[in-house]
């Protein structure tokens, strides 16, 4: 307002200072309660810091905000983060809003508690849903329908009514975070996303400002951390995964549709051509993988020839279904981990623009995989566990060394082959799921810029002598994060580890995770000498012995 009525910046500052002084003077020696609701700017907090006098008379200035950064303007002892309501609190609030002082009919209690639980602890959702329920039939049949279906119109109507309140949380995001936020809406409701999956997909889509010095952990702090700070995503500390609250998931899908950010197939009706749907979209999400086996849906997907990203994120499907890739020659991102392939989908090899490929396949990768010369992210999971540590390794084809653009390689149950002369993957910064066979000197020298390495080993019962996967790790002069996991550890204190001594590790390490190795505590001295180590994670019998000295 001052900016509008004042002709110069100097006049605006003078009037603002005068206004602050008058407010402070008028409140002096009075007992007051002032609420600054839904504050979005830290500058505003600092501007008001000296406006409200503290006369030690019980006066309170209360500030509410959705942003962690704004809350930091307040002294930590005077700030309080509101948690989600638990099941009991959610039900009490819903019951009170629907029935007021009247008791809830006994036949509605069970379904009512489930409806409250479906609101996921957010008071705004509970109150809005309660308002809708209070105007509908209070019968057990209807309430059971609402309780058993999170896609029920009651919830959708509630999210629609809430969208005006929630929209500023999206609108106030910095521009580079808006695309990252909307992308989470491409996954099904309540979908849990791993950190690395998010970072790799965002990077392949071109959302991240890639810097050679940054690891996936750095990007987590820079991007995921920023979304957490804005309180638009939720982090599950027990499972180390991220997801959207359903109210924000609905907002994401609403904005994505409006901005043509992605289009989602949830059921056959979504896949059938209809007026108003524009298939000239960049991203297509398949949230029900069975649709890929239905001819009408197959034809609809084929008509979306301009699609750059195909995300098959529905529940895991144990039977193979066709990928429908024949017409999608411009595809850059193919996320299909939830679809099992008995045979490698050879049509993938025709997608020469592909940057990101993730699928579930137990067999050997074809030698022609190297035709995907633009591929930067290759993720291949297996449905059944593959013994790969000693005497039974599964190797990638030798042609993998020709894929010069690779940045991240997640090949659980497989190993890198011995390199040919002249082989070099200089862009590879992340290697996940390999065994000791990928940790030889010859292999590690050909991936000199590796920053993150995850080693997984399955012990065999009759190992003849101690072995180690750390003998040549010191050759990785840029390695920052190292994880080594025994997938079938032996939980016996008297058992001597079959690993050789823990040799020198790169001084560049900032994070080290060990699981199931059974080292003696004496080996900890070598870890303590790492000058840059900030995170040490020891899990599942990483060391053995009665005392850590």
CB–CB of 334/351 below 8 Å? yes
Answering whether pTM is above 0.75, one says yes
Task: Give me the domain span that covers residue 102.
Answer: 87-163
pLDDT value of position 20 = 83
Helix (H) or strand (E) holding 411: none
Q: Which two tokens stand for residue 135?
A: 């105007």
Asked, for residue 380, whether it belongs to a domain, the answer is no
341-348: Cβ within 8 A, 24+ apart: 347/323, 348/323, 348/372
Closest CA to 381 of 336, 349, 348: 336
- Tokens 């003696």 belong to 520
Eight-class DSSP state of 220? I
pLDDT value of position 390 = 47
Asked, for residue 431, whether it belongs to a domain, the answer is yes
Instruction: Single out the residue in 105, 129, 163 at which a domain terminates.
Output: 163
- Tokens 């400002």 belong to 209
Instruction: Single out the residue in 249, 272, 296 at which a domain terminates.
Output: 249
Asked, for residue 67, whether it belongs to a domain, the answer is yes
Residues 197 and 119 in one domain: no
Q: CA 287 to CA 452: how far, in whole Å?
A: 31
CB–CB of 386/362 below 8 Å? yes
Instruction: List, in sequence order, the alpha helices (H) in 316-464.
Output: 441-444
Tally of CA atoms within 13 A in the half-sphere of 283 that contains its CB: 26
Residues with pLDDT less than 50, the chain: 2, 4, 275-276, 386-391, 496
- Tokens 């297509």 belong to 284
Residues 109 and 25 in one domain: no
Closest CA to 358 of 405, 310, 392: 310
State the total domains in the chain. 4
**CA angle (139 as vertex; 134, 143 as ends), nearest 5:** 75
Residues 203 and 64 in one domain: no
Q: CA 223 to CA 229: how far, in whole Å?
A: 10
pLDDT value of position 494 = 53
Q: CA 478 to CA 41: how far, in whole Å?
A: 39
- Residue 535's domain is classified under what CATH number? 3.80.10
Closest CA to 408 of 263, 219, 230: 219
Closest CA to 483 of 446, 460, 451: 451
Asked, for residue 16, whether it belongs to a domain, the answer is yes
Backbone angles phi, psi at 143, to 5 degrees: -65, -35
CB–CB of 413/435 below 8 Å? no
| Residue ranges of E strands in 40-191 | 60-65
CA-CA distances (angstroms) from residue 378 to 1, 108, 349? 54, 50, 13
Residues 426 and 527 in one domain: yes
CA 475 vs. chain centroid, Å, equals 31
- Tokens 């975070």 belong to 177
Residues 130 and 181 in one domain: no
CB–CB of 108/134 below 8 Å? no
Q: CA 421 to CA 446: how far, in whole Å?
A: 10
Asked, for residue 237, whether it belongs to a domain, the answer is yes
Q: CA 505 to CA 473: how far, in whole Å?
A: 6
pLDDT value of position 12 = 66
Residues 102 and 222 in one domain: no
Closest CA to 313 of 407, 185, 431: 185
Residues 403 and 541 in one domain: yes
Residues 428 and 513 in one domain: yes
Residues 427 and 481 in one domain: yes
412-419: Cβ within 8 A, 24+ apart: 412/380, 412/381, 412/382, 412/456, 413/382, 413/385, 413/386, 413/388, 414/365, 414/380, 414/386, 414/388, 415/388, 416/443, 418/442, 418/443, 419/443, 419/446
Asked, for residue 357, whether it belongs to a domain, the answer is no
First to last CA, the chain: 65
CB–CB of 247/125 below 8 Å? yes
Question: Which residues does 396 contact at the CB level (< 8 Å), separation at least 6?
Answer: 365, 411, 414, 415, 416, 417
CA-CA distances (angstroms) from residue 456 to 414, 432, 549? 10, 8, 28
- Residue 218's domain is classified under what CATH number? 1.10.10.10
Q: CA 310 to CA 282: how far, in whole Å?
A: 9
Asked, for residue 121, whether it belongs to a domain, the answer is yes
| Residue ranges of E strands in 289-407 | 309-312, 333-341, 356-361, 377-381
Residues 25 and 132 in one domain: no
Instruction: Single out the residue in 249, 265, 286 at which a domain terminates.
Output: 249
Residues 184 and 48 in one domain: no
* pLDDT tens, position by position, 447-484: 999 999 999 887 766 555 556 678 888 889 999 999 99
Residues 420 and 469 in one domain: yes
Backbone angles phi, psi at 422, to 5 degrees: 90, -5
Helix (H) or strand (E) holding 236: strand 234-236
Asked, for residue 282, whether it belongs to a domain, the answer is no
Coarse DSSP helix, strand, coil percentages of the chain, rounded to the nearest 5 percent? 35, 15, 45
């Amino acid at each position: 307002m001052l900016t509008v009525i004042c002709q110069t910046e100097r006049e605006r500052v003078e009037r603002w200072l005068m206004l602050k002084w008058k407010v402070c003077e008028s409140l002096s020696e009075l007992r007051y309660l002032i609420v600054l609701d839904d504050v979005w700017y830290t500058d505003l907090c600092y501007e008001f810091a000296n406006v409200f006098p503290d006369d030690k008379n019980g006066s309170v200035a209360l500030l509410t905000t959705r942003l962690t950064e704004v809350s930091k303007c307040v002294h930590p002892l005077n700030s309080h983060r509101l948690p989600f309501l638990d099941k009991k609190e959610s039900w009490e609030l819903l019951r009170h809003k629907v029935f007021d002082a009247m008791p809830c009919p006994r036949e509605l209690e069970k379904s009512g508690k489930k409806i409250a639980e479906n609101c996921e602890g957010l008071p705004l959702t509970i109150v809005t849903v309660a308002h809708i329920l209070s105007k509908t039939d209070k019968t057990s049949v209807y309430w059971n329908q609402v309780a058993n279906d999170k896609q029920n119109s009651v919830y959708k109507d509630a999210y629609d009514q809430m969208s005006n309140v929630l929209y500023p949380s999206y609108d106030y995001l910095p521009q580079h975070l808006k695309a990252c936020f909307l992308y989470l809406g491409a996954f099904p409701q309540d979908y849990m996303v791993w950190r690395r999956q998010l970072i790799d997909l965002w990077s392949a889509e071109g959302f991240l400002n890639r810097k050679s010095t940054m690891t996936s952990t750095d990007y987590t702090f820079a991007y995921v951390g920023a979304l957490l700070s804005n309180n638009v995503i939720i982090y599950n500390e027990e499972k180390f995964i991220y997801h959207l609250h359903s109210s924000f998931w609905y907002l994401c899908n609403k904005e994505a549709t409006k901005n043509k950010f992605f289009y989602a197939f949830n059921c056959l009706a979504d896949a059938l051509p209809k007026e108003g749907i524009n298939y000239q979209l960049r991203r297509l999400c398949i949230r029900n993988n069975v649709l890929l086996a239905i001819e009408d849906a197959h034809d609809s997907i084929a008509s979306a020839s301009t699609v750059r990203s195909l995300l098959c994120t529905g529940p895991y499907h144990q039977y193979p279904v066709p990928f429908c890739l024949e017409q999608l020659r411009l595809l850059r991102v193919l996320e299909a981990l939830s679809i099992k392939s008995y045979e490698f989908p050879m049509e993938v090899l025709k997608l020469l623009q592909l940057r990101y490929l993730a699928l579930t396949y137990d067999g050997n990768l074809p030698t022609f995989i190297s035709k995907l010369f633009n591929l930067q992210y290759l993720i291949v999971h297996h449905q059944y566990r593959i013994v790969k540590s000693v005497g039974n390794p599964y190797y990638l084809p030798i042609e993998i060394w020709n894929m010069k653009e690779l940045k991240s390689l997640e090949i659980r149950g497989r190993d890198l082959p011995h390199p040919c002369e002249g082989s070099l993957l200089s862009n590879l910064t992340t290697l996940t799921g390999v065994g000791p066979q990928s940790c030889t000197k010859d292999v590690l020298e050909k991936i000199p810029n590796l920053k993150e390495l995850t080693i997984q080993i399955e012990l065999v019962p009759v190992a003849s002598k101690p072995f180690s996967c750390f003998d040549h790790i010191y050759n990785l002069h840029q390695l920052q994060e190292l994880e080594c996991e025994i997938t079938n550890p032996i939980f016996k204190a008297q058992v001597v580890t079959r690993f050789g001594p823990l040799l020198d590790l790169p001084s560049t390490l900032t994070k080290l995770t060990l699981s199931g190795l059974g080292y003696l505590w004496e080996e900890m001295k070598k870890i303590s000498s790492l000058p840059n180590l900030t995170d040490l994670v020891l899990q599942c019998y990483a060391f053995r012995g009665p005392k850590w000295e």
